[in-house]
Structure 1
Amino acid sequence: MTPAVTKRTSRTGDSTPVAEKADNFDDTWIVKERSIDESRPLRVVIIGAGISGIMACVRFVQRIPNLQLCIYEKNADIGGTWFENRYPGCACDIPAHTYQATFEPNKEWSQFYASAPEIHRYWKRVAFKYGCLKYMKLKQKVSEAIWDDEQSKWCLKVQDVDSGTIYSDKCDLLIQATGALNDWKWPKIPGLHDFKGELMHSATWDESYDYKALSFSPEELESFKKDHQVYQNFRKEVELQLQSVHGSTLTGSEMQIDGQQAFAENMKARLANKPELFDELVPSFPPACRRLTPGPGYLEALTDPKVNLIKSDIVKVDETGIVTADGQHRPVDMLVCATGFDTSSTPRFPIIGSGGMPLSEKWKDTPENYMSVTTDGFPNFFICLGPNSGLGEGNLLLLIEKSIDYFTECIQKMQRDNIRAMTVRRDAVRRFTKYCDQYFSLTVFSSKCRSWYKGGTEDGRIVALWPGSSLHARKAFANPRWEDFEYEYVDDNPAGWLGDGWTENEKYNRINVDYLDDDQIDFPLPASDFTLSV
């Protein structure tokens, strides 16, 4: 990259461009006209206004000065997957009291596993409370993102969904918060769209359907609202249970073996009305190889006399029904496709990194990444819920929050150190990839089962999960390893962070000595057995 040629007048009156003196370090003027604590102005664009986009907005606005923030959302409303998915019974598969922001506890969840509409209302409330809506542009779809090496900017193409008009935008940092579960797909079954009855997909449901689910009693809800400590105790107990099962994912561990037996006994009890279904339904692989879902009432529904379980594959669809591999034609009035989403990690629009490398090409074989949040060759680019960010157990919201804390620290470092571009090192990406592969070889996730954790394959690389527990991720994100990144500095001046010898408060005559206040001093504790020796 050709260094920016910036004229700088030295104390001696020499106005020779800095770039022309780069070879003679002693003659280069490196005092930068900025305060040492001045925060460099940065424009940040977030793609997506789901949970990650909302929480990133809250934290960025709270913690990052001199920020220009824009959030593009392709839908007509915020909320991401909880706006898009409204099929009957759609709910979170972990307890509601752990599926919330740590800074915004909700004491009024009506169900233990909250429904999609209730979760959507909660996150809209969070966005409104913290002033996020003014940064969000709805029905605006980012269709292209290209990194400009010369400008150190991301150049974007954005489409207005209603008019189809495409316009340009630029930013210093790009945050992809599009999530993993919103690019739904039809199953590849011959004749599917020849069907003349009602054809539905779980991701495009008519939500007028009503349903019931496990709920809290009015007394419980009232106790949560009246007594904060009662609520806190309940919330921590649920969180403790959620965070205490990591051992069940480690192949051959006592918790994993006991857990498999416990799951089997639970299935038998819930299938008691049709015990013959157990042998047809029990998987050959251990629990957690695929996503565990509590599904209250699901197994019980299969035992209803009106329900038939058909294990023969659907080989084709015609105008009136389905044809299964056993040769039978079964007429149906309605077909529901619950076939999920494209979870391949392939970008849904062109993202072009340094030197013209498309992310789709880089990740063609496998989505190698660093800490699930970025990859080499893509400066100033971070991903919420990217490859290797999901959890087979534990608290996903905790991982999202800590990854956003991580992004915040990266942006603060760029402002503090006068950095114009930071990119993770290739060797750091390779180490993380190797770590993932070695870690997962010890877990049930590597068992032979077709799973979206492996991109829909039976024995492929595990590309969807974090290599550890959510508590492990919390620690991993706590202290960024700055040595794993490469940096380019404003004016190609690594000393620019030192500024011009001033602080911001001095320049604007706001000098204070608050650092001498008791609450600002880190007082060490005296040793209890300290004795003065003479």
Structure 2
Amino acid sequence: MGETLAGTASSTPEPQSPAEKPVTLEQRSVDEARPIKVIVMGAGLSGIIAGIRLPQRIENIDLVIYEKNPEVGGTWYENRYPGVACDIPSHSYQASFEPNPSWSGFYAPGAEIGEYWKHVARKYGVYRYLKVNRKVLEAKFDETRSKWTLKIQKLDTPDQEVFEDEADVLFGCIGALNEWKWPEIKGLHDFKGKLLHSANWDDEYDYAGKEVAVIGTGSSAIQIVPAMQKVVKKLDQYARGQTWIATPFAGEFAEAKNLDRKDYSFSEEDIERFKNDPEHFYAYRRELEHVLNSVHTLTMRGSDLQKGALEFFTENMKKKLAAKPEIFKSLVPPFPPACRRLTPGPGYLEALVQENVNFISDQISHVTSDGLVTADGTARSVDAIVCATGFDTTWTKRFPIIGRSGKLLSERWKDHPDTYLSIAVDGFPNYFMSLGPNSAVGTGSLSIVLEREVDYVCWAVQKMQRDNIKTIEAKVSSVRNFQNYCDAYFPGTVYSMKCRSWYKGGTYDGKVIALWPGSTLHAEKVLSNPRWEDWEYEYVNESEHGWLGNGWAMAEVNPDGDRAHYLKRGIVDIPPVVV
């Protein structure tokens, strides 16, 4: 038996190995950071954080930040309408690494927020990489060279010259709410008075003593109405939609800290104590964020917190609108709180019941040269029309972003935008997003999510350098799996209920495309732990072993290199002694 088996084995032909490329060594040290260029589009909050973290963490980086505006700040540069302010507590809307003890109030005005982020950009050197008045017209991936090529317009030159630039990695920090639009109302541009949009405010216009119409019931309108009501002769608010006006977020927390119950301002004594007692300020800030991150249950259908909020907000609105109960009937929605973005709106309900305010729930038929006409035929003349009607939230009206095989991202997203973890799309290698689809949060701190998105991109670029990767791209299955997860998650939340919301691209019952499918803490944990197995890679010189380099480390190549770095104090991980 043994002889037979041995004879059989010896007569079996050896399998033929396929022809292989000759193996060559990459002429680089194993820990050498190859040069890499990153272009960041946009200098809002994400772009500022990227301008800090990328050069801090990435060796041998060539970084450029293109911003279409003359200054950093994004939303807080563009939105200058009356009453613009943070609608979450200011101490939760700042960088984790740059605490500001000097906020003037619980909900800081927009100009103050803009100045804070300019301070952050100055302090940490972002302006070194910034090119302002530069508008990206097109971004296209060159498959032959694995580069992103961009067409960019100089907005501050007489001929508005267009030039090109290119990068290994493209990071889109253009956000969700920056493509403002006029409402589709017949005759709007026939109006001969002053026509204003909340996202394109004319700072020179003096509305004091004027008769003004405000169109909309979103966050901007809720801030504009009480600000203008105090100084205009008459204010007509045209409110097609219904909305919940929440009590200010963490309002009980603010009151417990002895803040003014009317405007939630800080006294000079509060601010001085924050400045002079860092431990007190640190404890205050942590406690505040703990409270903000504890209300995710509000977004779940049928939860006790959701039921309690419904009852509490209803009674609060009814009480504050008691002088004009017809407004309460028109404004209170049939959908639950948080289906649309919840806005605290300090002073809004109080403004609606003033004598110089008319709340008009009838649909606008058309605009004439001197005013607006509603569907019932009533004409109301005004000196100015303020359109607080928001932004294009479909993600498809941006400049062309062109991936593999000439595929347009807008075409890819024409039905709904799909992503992997809100930061990447298959077919678009080396392209990352901050505040992309499914990245905003309904409760909790948004700024920490933005920081983690930037962290993720830093880790990805580090991996490209360390592993000698030419392109990194989300797998098709990874995008599909994340979308399947979203589809399974959102039906259990109030976001998917019937209400018109920018969370759903301005639709009544479409997919939830703006919000992260989970809590803020859930997003922070997911983005803090990259799953590199969810990505596809192409390697420099098609060498999958190229990350190993040529057998040397940089400390050996560099004459001044530390060849015992692993023994440096603070590097050695000393385990606890077991007694």
- SS of the equivalent of 2:359 reads coil
| Post-superposition offset of 1:129 | 0.6
What residue number does 1:416 align with?
A: 466
| Post-superposition offset of 1:347 | 4.9
- SS of the equivalent of 1:185 reads coil
Q: Where do 1:189-228 residues align within 5 Å?
A: 189-207=185-203, 214-228=264-278
C-alpha distance in structure 1 between counterparts of 2:284 and 2:325, whole Å: 35
What residue number does 2:575 align with?
A: 524
Q: Is the 8 A contact 1:347 1:359 kept in 2?
A: no
Q: Where do 1:282-361 residues align within 5 Å?
A: 282-361=332-411
* Alignment of 1:431 onto 2:494: no
Amino acid at match of 2:40: I
Which digits, 9 at most, give the CA deviation of each residue in 1:163-190, with x for residues without a partner? 3211111100001111111211100000
- SS of the equivalent of 2:573 reads coil
- SS of the equivalent of 2:570 reads helix
Give structure 2 stretches of 5+ with no counterpart: 1-16, 209-226, 231-262
* Alignment of 1:92 onto 2:86: yes
C-alpha distance in structure 1 between counterparts of 2:320 and 2:449, whole Å: 33
Amino acid at match of 2:410: S
* Alignment of 1:72 onto 2:122: no
C-alpha distance in structure 1 between counterparts of 2:342 and 2:121, whole Å: 29
Which digits, 9 at most, give the CA deviation of each residue in 1:139-177, with x for residues without a partner? 111111110111000011111113321111110000111
Amino acid at match of 2:165: D
Amino acid at match of 1:189: I
* Alignment of 1:157 onto 2:154: no
What residue number does 1:135 align with?
A: 129
- CA gap of 1:84–1:316, structure 2 versus 1, over 3 A, is same
* Alignment of 1:47 onto 2:98: no
Amino acid at match of 1:56: A
| Post-superposition offset of 1:270 | 2.5
Which digits, 9 at most, give the CA deviation of each residue in 1:40-68, with x for residues without a partner? 11000001111110001100011000000
Q: Is the 8 A contact 1:395 1:470 kept in 2?
A: yes
* Alignment of 1:498 onto 2:548: yes
C-alpha distance in structure 2 between counterparts of 1:127 and 1:173, whole Å: 22
Q: Where do 1:442-457 residues align within 5 Å?
A: 442-457=492-507
What residue number does 1:170 align with?
A: 166
What residue number does 1:188 align with?
A: 184
- SS of the equivalent of 2:62 reads strand
C-alpha distance in structure 1 between counterparts of 2:567 and 2:434, whole Å: 40
| Post-superposition offset of 1:276 | 4.2
What residue number does 1:266 align with?
A: 316
C-alpha distance in structure 2 between counterparts of 1:106 and 1:284, whole Å: 40
Amino acid at match of 2:498: K
C-alpha distance in structure 1 between counterparts of 2:341 and 2:310, whole Å: 14
What residue number does 1:378 align with?
A: 428
Which digits, 9 at most, give the CA deviation of each residue in 1:287-342, with x for residues without a partner? 10000111110011111122111100111000111110111111111111000111
Q: CA RMSD in A?
A: 1.5
C-alpha distance in structure 1 between counterparts of 2:317 and 2:101, whole Å: 32
Aligned length: 506
Amino acid at match of 1:239: E
- SS of the equivalent of 1:312 reads coil
Amino acid at match of 2:31: D
What residue number does 1:472 align with?
A: 522
Q: Where do 1:228-243 residues align within 5 Å?
A: 228-243=278-293
- SS of the equivalent of 1:398 reads helix
* Alignment of 1:29 onto 2:23: yes
After TM superposition, the structure 1 stretch with the greater mean CA deviation from structure 2, 263-272 or 246-255, is 263-272
Which digits, 9 at most, give the CA deviation of each residue in 1:265-286, with x for residues without a partner? 2222332433443222211101
- SS of the equivalent of 1:308 reads strand
Q: Is the 8 A contact 2:153 2:163 kept in 1?
A: yes
Identity, % of aligned positions: 54
C-alpha distance in structure 2 between counterparts of 1:430 and 1:521, whole Å: 42
C-alpha distance in structure 1 between counterparts of 2:523 and 2:115, whole Å: 28
What residue number does 2:118 align with?
A: 124
- SS of the equivalent of 2:360 reads coil
Q: Is the 8 A contact 2:321 2:327 kept in 1?
A: yes
Amino acid at match of 2:369: E
Q: Is the 8 A contact 2:556 2:563 kept in 1?
A: no
What residue number does 2:11 align with?
A: none
C-alpha distance in structure 2 between counterparts of 1:312 and 1:277, whole Å: 12
Q: Is the 8 A contact 1:455 1:463 kept in 2?
A: yes
| Post-superposition offset of 1:519 | 2.2
C-alpha distance in structure 2 between counterparts of 1:52 and 1:511, whole Å: 35
TM-score, length-normalised on structure 1?
0.92
- SS of the equivalent of 1:143 reads strand
| Post-superposition offset of 1:205 | 1.4
1:83 to 56, 77, 87: 77
Amino acid at match of 2:171: I
What residue number does 1:13 align with?
A: none
C-alpha distance in structure 2 between counterparts of 1:363 and 1:445, whole Å: 21
| Post-superposition offset of 1:524 | 2.0
Which digits, 9 at most, give the CA deviation of each residue in 1:338-377, with x for residues without a partner? 0011111115111110111111111111111110001000
C-alpha distance in structure 2 between counterparts of 1:309 and 1:81, whole Å: 28
What residue number does 2:565 align with?
A: 514
Amino acid at match of 2:129: Y
Q: Is the 8 A contact 1:108 1:224 kept in 2?
A: yes
Q: Is the 8 A contact 1:423 1:485 kept in 2?
A: yes
TM-score, length-normalised on structure 2?
0.85
| Post-superposition offset of 1:23 | 5.7
Amino acid at match of 2:26: K
C-alpha distance in structure 2 between counterparts of 1:98 and 1:273, whole Å: 35
Amino acid at match of 1:393: T
| Post-superposition offset of 1:132 | 0.8
* Alignment of 1:253 onto 2:303: yes
| Post-superposition offset of 1:127 | 0.5
- SS of the equivalent of 1:155 reads strand
- SS of the equivalent of 2:28 reads coil
After TM superposition, the structure 1 stretch with the greater mean CA deviation from structure 2, 80-89 or 233-242, is 233-242
- SS of the equivalent of 1:423 reads strand
Q: Is the 8 A contact 1:30 1:495 kept in 2?
A: no
- SS of the equivalent of 2:377 reads coil
Q: Where do 1:52-63 residues align within 5 Å?
A: 52-63=46-57
Amino acid at match of 2:528: A
Q: Is the 8 A contact 1:95 1:113 kept in 2?
A: yes
- CA gap of 1:166–1:517, structure 2 versus 1, over 3 A, is closer
C-alpha distance in structure 2 between counterparts of 1:355 and 1:341, whole Å: 30
